[in-house]
Amino acid sequence: MPKRARPGPHSTQPCSVVTGAAGFLGSHLTDLLLARGHKVIGIDNFVTGSVNNISHLGGNSHFKFIQQDVTEFIFLDVAVDYIWHFASPASPVDYLELPIQTLKVGSLGTHKALGLAKHKKARFLLASTSEIYGDPLVHPQIEEYWGNVNTIGPRGCYDEAKRFSEALAMAYHREHQVETRIVRIFNTYGPRMRLHDGRVVPAFLSQALKNKPITVFGDGRQTRSFCYFSDLIEGIYRLMLSDHELPVNIGNPAEMTVLEFAKEIIRATGSKSKITFKPLPQDDPKQRRPDISRARKHLRWEPKVALPQGLVKTIDYFRQRL
């Protein structure tokens, strides 16, 4: 698998556009692209992204930032080779507070980004999600599974926005011959996660580092699978450079219960926190584990960073910011 992108058709240096470039994953992707020889144009409106995630790129001649809502027309006067569409609220807190914006970025934003890809003859990668499987009735989740989603539930705005995005990407692929790639991202963690974004890793770490009770919803027997960000970004990079046009799960298949994870957080932080239980939110998935057979076969990818190793750097990041 190549470690650097082939030069774009317009220059000796590939040019990538990253929407959501100031977000947790978008900023890490931007760093990797710059390290591998790309020029990068980052787009973000800072609704959930943070300038702190990209401030270290100030003065980098290969990085240009545009503050813009991607649901508006995107005009760029340069050749573009790759578009990585990562713009979207991505946590329960966000899409409960921003349901309409979440739907708009998944629909109008994806439409604008695909329009740019069509105009520039660029390859397009959609950052989709394991949430398109909803509360799954198939375990582990394979890409052929169509999902079990409550369209009118509180999580429906995010789930359906991503499902629509996938359908729109494939429509552009079939009708306009746009080269499209779709990655379904499973639970990912690491530095640059927002402290209070509602996802289980920041929530547990914020509580543990303050020695506050760790809140587990339900009985804690629901499962999650945690992938360290560097593994995930490498998998996504390989997918963009591959010839695979169908959706690919990228995540860590090492599954554990939420209660087990809470105990691991207490151990890793040396916290004095106790575990408390609250009712399970509506439509919260009971099981989440990716089948990564497709990624192994087509991308020669699998995660390398074990949870204890990834938590060390993540905990250090959270300690500095609390």
Spell out the domains of the chain, with CATH numbers in brackets: 15-191+227-253+288-305 (3.40.50.720)
Active site residues: 158
Secondary structure, 3-state, the chain: CCCCCCCCCCCCCCEEEEECCCCHHHHHHHHHHHHCCCEEEEEECCCCCCHHHCHHHCCCCCEEEEECCCCCCCCCCCCCCEEEECCCCCCHHHHHHCHHHHHHHHHHHHHHHHHHHHHHCCEEEEEEEHHHHECCCCCCECCCCCCECCCCCCCHHHHHHHHHHHHHHHHHHHHHCCCEEEEEECCEECCCCCCCCCCHHHHHHHHHHCCCCEEEECCCCCEEECEEHHHHHHHHHHHHHCCCCCCEEECCCCEEEHHHHHHHHHHHHCCCCCEEEECCCCCCCCCCCECCHHHHHHHCCCCCCCHHHHHHHHHHHHHHHC
pLDDT string in tens for the chain (322-residue length):
434 455 555 458 999 999 999 999 999 999 999 999 999 999 999 999 999 999 999 999 999 999 999 999 999 999 999 999 999 998 888 888 999 999 999 999 999 999 999 999 999 999 999 999 999 999 999 999 999 999 999 999 999 999 999 999 999 999 999 999 999 999 999 999 998 887 899 999 999 999 999 999 999 999 999 999 999 999 999 999 999 999 999 999 999 999 999 999 999 999 999 999 999 888 778 889 999 999 999 999 999 999 999 999 999 999 998 8
pTM: 0.94
- Give the residues across from 248 on adjacent strands: 183
